[in-house]
Amino acid sequence: MKAPPAGAGGRQDDARTASAPLVGVLALQGDFEAHGRMLRALGAEVREVRVPADLEGLDGLVIPGGESTTMTLGIAREELGEPLRDLVRSGTPVLGTCAGMIMLDREHLGLADYRCRRNAFGRQIRSFEADLDIPGVDGAPVRAVFIRAPWIEDRGDGVEVLAEVEGHVVAARQDNMLVISFHPELAGETRLHELFLRGVRR
């Protein structure tokens, strides 16, 4: 790829961030394609992330739902653990959904100060939907689709609770990490991705 002229890179990056931020979607396993379609529809450029080099130059990152054990093995196989930690610790905004919420917790990537309970609401046959009021999301309540969903079992003081179901935390924020235990990309609910992208554009 041809390098930009000296001194032009910053201006190009600023223009891209203002108009079409570059968002990576971890694409080792899970529903990454649905997230990519939603992000593109909201005006973002999308890059599927499979190896460390795919993290370079990202303005934001989505860690999708899927199977957390398989995702953990894929991250180890591709030696993505430390590069992911470096990206998040640098302040890059991150959205973690379902298994993505799990991957960020103390027992996995160790980036967020909480611990998740996997399949907390039961197996797939126990899937359900709920209406949630989430700070920063205007309009009607968010219709949340829960499929083998986790919840946050315990958390540190720096974790802001955004929504609960039956007293269990299903949406939270810590620093640059926004995490939810449900699947907005399957319900056609764009407002969580819009909330995430507002942080990316800032």
Give me the active site residues, please: 98, 183, 185
Find, among 51, 53, 52, 59, the residue nearest to 24 by Cα.
59
Find, among 146, 151, 150, 152, the residue nearest to 184 by Cα.
146
> Residue 9's CB: how many other CB atoms inside 10 A?
11
Q: Residue 59, class by beta-carbon neighbours within 10 Å (0-12 exposed, 13-18 middle, 19+ buried)?
A: buried
What is the Cα–Cα distance from 149 to 118, expressed in whole angstroms?
Answer: 7
